[in-house]
Chain A
């Protein structure tokens, strides 16, 4: 295990450097890209803080729609498996299995929850609205 500062603390330092030092001392494209880069770092801090819980919820939601499957232990395997399970979900939708009725309601409920979790990382302001 690494010593402190931990990942979040170091990312905070980099974001602060980009926003507080680079941005005000540059202009035009460079300053704009420093802002974008700083925003990306802040987004990554949110992602690192939320990812484990988010993936747990998405997995449980997919279990509800596709039938339960044991979740892998390692985070990287969970990510890969979720891509595969979402491909399965897409096939259901393309076959018309979420066009109406309870299946549609369940699908929308799951997708709304997953998209809200994505927004909480990428655009927390918008996530807070709904």
Chain B
């Protein structure tokens, strides 16, 4: 049996050693972690326009993803009134990078809707523009998020990707894992015939309206409803911007 004095000394030394080693390791690796995270997000963003990319995102190396993102994507930040913000304004709002890719959607979701900052990614391909918007919502267990790409008429969907924090594999996680789920969004329309915003609904039991609905995933109704709500609320944030550009197009 060791004395109490010895126990306390042992524990103190052990704690200090462990704390130092782990803190040093975390600090040293932090730049790598940040770079990885940024690249992972870029992958998600350009995956929304996967059909327009030179090859599927899954087959791209990190360098190729960075290259496509840097050379073909124009990014800017808007507010909910659809006004474009300058880099200084974004930095002032608490994002030192000042770019759309730095926007933390979770932080923005907690803000009052009128104060939100929204990232826009414009992808150029063969003379046409595609606008990628980021959305975030709640699944069954935790956060879900995604990127939805609209064609330059701001109505037709060019593609969508989804990701999640901890949905069930084989059920809710299919929104990310199953390419057939996200492919369904291609060609859908977010406005009805008479110009009303209807978003896209993930329908349990199979899509009924071919223009505005996609098939749900059996066993994952709550996640699917989460996707529906996320798309509606997320696109609603961008609505001033979308409507403004849409009316310009109609005038032209």
Are chains A and B native binding partners rather than an unrelated pairing? Answer: no
Chain B residues with a Cβ under 8 A of chain A? none
Chain A residues with a Cβ under 8 A of chain B? none
